[in-house]
C-alpha cells in the first residue's frame, strides 16, 4: 500500500546521535486504507493451499538468509545494537519463519469416527481474516517476524505497524517477502504513533491484534482491542530475577549474568535486570562481575563491529536511565559500576549509558519498582533460597526468571515455585525458541494465547468442528414404514 501522510517523525542513528531518515506518521485514514487492502486480499489468500503459502515462506527464508548481514547493518544503524546482537535479532526471526513453513502440518485438524454409532466428528483450523501486528523498537527484525509469517501461513492477511523509531528494517523485511512472491495486499505496512495504533484497535475489519511493548501500553492494547471485539495477545514489560546460589560456578555465572543484564544495552523484555545473591554468592560473584562491567567496550556500533555494547535508543531514554541510577544511589544503593556520563571518541552526540551495577537494593527503592530498560543490574542480598523465591514472586511481572547453581534440588525447587513463564537454569536469558510459546505471566502478558509455537497457531486460527452422519437409502426417513 502506498499513501501519503501529513506529519513525519525523525529516525536517528543512536550511535552517532544523528538523523538518518524521516518516517511518515499515519492516522485513521491511512489505517483504513491498509486494513481494507488486507481485507480485499483475504478471500483469495485464504483459498491459497497451505502448501503454496508455505512455498512462499520457504523462498522468503532463503532470501532472509542471503541478507542477514545487510539486515544486521540496518538494525545496528537505526537501533544501535552491536553487529553480533543484530545478527542474533535476524536469526531468531528466521527461526520463526522456518517454523511457519510447516503450515501444512501445523494446520492439520483432528478426527474421530464413531463418536456415537454411525456418527463421525472432525475439526479443522481456518484463518480469522485481517490481523494486525504492533511491534517495539528493541528487536526490529525478530518481533515482526514473530507475527506476520505465522499469521500468513495460517491464511490470514496482515497489517504491520512497526515502531516509528526503527522503520527501516521493517521496510526491508516486507520488500524481501514481496520478492519471494507474496501477492499484493496480503501484507501491508503502515507507520505512525498512538493515533495510528488507536485506529487499528477499533477498526471493524481487524480481527486480531498482536503486540509487544511496555506493560502500560500492553494493558491499553488488550483492554481497547477486546472491548472492540478483537482477539488480542499483548506482551508487556518485566523485572526478571536471577538467583545466584553460593555453589554457582563463578566464571560461568559472571558471563551469563553480564550477558543477561547488559546485552542489547539492557533493552529487552527478557533482560536479567535484578539479581538476588544468596549467602556468600555476593562476595564470590560481584567483584568479578563489577570488573567485567567496567571493562566492557561501549561505543559506536555503526563503525566498529567488535564493540561490546552500543547506545540506548534515544537521548531521552539515556537521560531517563541516568536519572533512575541517580535515584537508586540517592536512596541508598551502592554503585559498584557506574555507566553514567559515557563519552565516546568520534561520537560525542551518541546516546550512551554504560553497564551499571547497583548493590544492596531494597524493595521500596524506585529502581526496584520501575522497569529501567537499560544496562542496569539491581542486586539484592538474601540469606536463603526460600526468601529469594518469595521476593521474586512478589513482582507484578512474570516474563522470565533464572537461577545459577550446581544443586539439582535447588534448581528443581526454583523451577517448581517461581512465578514466571520462562525459566532458566544456568541460562541467564531463557527466551523460548520459535516452536515453544513466549509465555510471559502476570503483568508481562495480557491475553490467553501467547506468541510463537502452537499457541501462535491457535491465536491466528479459529476451529470449526463438524459432526456428520450418513444414511443408507430410506434409513432414518420419517415418512418410511
CB–CB of 126/256 below 8 Å?
A: no
Determine the Cα angle at 463 with ends 462 and 465, to 5°.
155
Contacting residues for 446 by C-beta, under 8 A, at least 6 apart: 218, 219, 221, 222, 232, 233, 234, 236
Query: Which three-class secondary structure state does DSSP give residue 139?
Result: coil
Contact 405, 411 (CB under 8 A): yes
Contact 220, 209 (CB under 8 A): no
- Is 269 noted as a catalytic residue in this protein? yes
The runs of H, that is alpha helices, within 67-166 are 68-79, 83-100, 103-106, 142-153
What is the DSSP secondary-structure string of 315-380? HHHHHHHHHHHHHHHHTT-EEEE--TT---TT-TTS-----EEEES--TTSHHHHS---SSEEEEE
**The three three-digit cell numbers of residue 54, written as one number:** 508455505
Look-up of cell digits 456428520: 468
Buried/exposed code over 63-95 (b: 16+ C-beta within 10 A; e: otherwise): ebeebbeebbbbbbbbbbbbbbbbbbbbbbbbb
Q: Which residue has the cell 544503524?
A: 77
CA separation for the pair 23, 143 (Å, rounded): 20
Coil, helix or strand for 215?
helix
Q: What angle do CA 6, 11, 15 make, to 5 degrees?
A: 170
Phi, psi of 324 (to 5 degrees): -70, -40
Spatial distance between the Cα atoms of 109 and 477, rounded to a whole number of angstroms: 32
Cite the active site residues: 269
Amino acid at each position: 500500500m502506498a499513501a501519503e501522510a501529513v506529519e513525519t517523525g525523525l529516525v536517528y542513528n543512536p550511535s552517532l546521535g544523528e538523523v538518518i531518515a524521516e518516517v511518515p506518521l499515519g492516522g485513521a485514514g491511512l489505517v483504513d486504507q491498509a486494513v481494507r487492502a488486507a481485507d480485499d486480499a483475504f478471500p483469495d489468500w485464504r483459498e491459497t493451499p497451505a502448501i503454496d503459502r508455505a512455498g512462499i515462506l520457504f523462498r522468503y527464508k532463503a532470501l532472509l538468509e542471503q541478507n542477514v548481514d545487510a539486515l544486521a547493518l540496518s538494525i545496528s544503524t537505526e537501533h544501535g545494537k552491536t553487529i553480533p546482537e543484530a545478527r542474533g535479532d535476524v536469526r531468531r526471526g528466521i527461526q520463526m519463519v522456518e517454523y511457519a513453513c510447516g503450515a501444512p502440518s501445523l494446520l492439520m485438524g483432528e478426527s474421530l469416527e464413531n463418536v456415537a454409532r454411525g456418527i463421525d466428528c472432525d475439526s479443522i483450523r481456518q484463518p480469522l481474516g485481517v490481523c494486525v501486528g504492533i511491534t517495539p523498537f528493541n528487536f526490529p527484525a525478530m518481533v515482526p517476524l514473530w507475527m506476520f509469517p505465522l499469521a500468513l501461513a495460517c491464511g490470514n492477511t496482515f497489517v504491520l505497524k512497526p515502531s516509528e523509531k526503527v522503520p527501516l528494517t521493517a521496510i526491508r523485511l516486507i520488500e524481501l517477502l514481496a520478492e519471494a512472491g507474496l501477492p499484493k495486499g496480503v501484507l501491508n505496512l503502515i507507520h505512525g504513533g498512538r493515533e495510528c495504533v488507536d485506529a487499528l484497535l477499533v477498526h471493524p475489519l481487524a480481527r486480531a491484534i498482536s503486540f509487544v511493548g511496555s506493560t502500560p501500553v500492553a494493558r491499553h492494547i488488550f483492554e481497547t482491542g477486546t472491548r472492540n471485539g478483537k482477539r488480542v495477545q499483548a506482551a508487556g514489560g518485566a523485572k526478571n530475577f536471577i538467583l545466584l546460589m553460593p555453589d554457582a560456578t563463578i566464571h560461568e555465572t559472571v558471563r551469563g549474568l553480564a550477558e543477561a543484564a547488559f546485552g542489547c544495552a539492557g533493552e529487552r523484555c527478557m533482560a536479567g535486570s535484578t539479581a538476588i545473591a544468596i549467602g556468600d554468592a555476593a562476595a564470590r560473584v560481584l567483584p568479578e562481575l563489577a570488573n567485567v562491567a567496567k571493562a566492557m567496550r561501549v561505543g559506536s556500533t555503526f563503525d566498529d563491529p567488535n564493540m561490546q555494547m552500543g547506545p540506548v535508543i534515544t537521548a531521552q531514554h539515556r537521560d531517563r536511565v541516568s536519572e533512575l541510577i541517580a535515584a537508586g544511589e540517592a536512596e541508598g544503593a551502592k554503585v559498584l559500576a557506574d555507566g553514567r556520563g559515557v563519552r565516546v571518541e568520534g561520537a560525542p552526540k551518541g546516546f550512551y549509558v554504560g553497564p551499571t551495577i547497583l548493590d544492596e537494593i531494597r524493595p521500596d527503592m524506585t529502581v526496584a519498582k520501575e522497569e529501567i530498560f537499560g544496562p542496569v543490574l539491581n542486586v539484592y542480598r538474601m540469606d536463603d533460597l526460600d526468601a529469594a523465591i518469595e521476593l521474586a514472586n512478589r513482582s507484578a511481572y512474570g516474563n522470565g526468571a533464572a537461577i545459577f547453581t550446581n544443586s539439582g534440588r535447588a534448581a528443581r525447587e526454583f523451577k517448581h515455585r517461581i512465578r514466571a513463564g520462562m525459566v532458566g537454569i544456568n541460562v541467564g536469558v531463557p527466551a523460548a525458541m520459535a516452536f515453544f510459546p513466549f509465555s510471559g505471566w502476570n503483568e508481562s502478558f495480557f491475553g490467553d494465547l501467547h506468541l510463537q509455537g502452537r499457541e501462535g497457531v491457535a491465536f491466528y486460527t479459529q476451529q470449526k468442528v463438524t459432526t456428520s452422519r450418513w444414511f443408507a437409502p430410506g434409513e432414518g426417513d420419517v415418512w418410511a414404514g
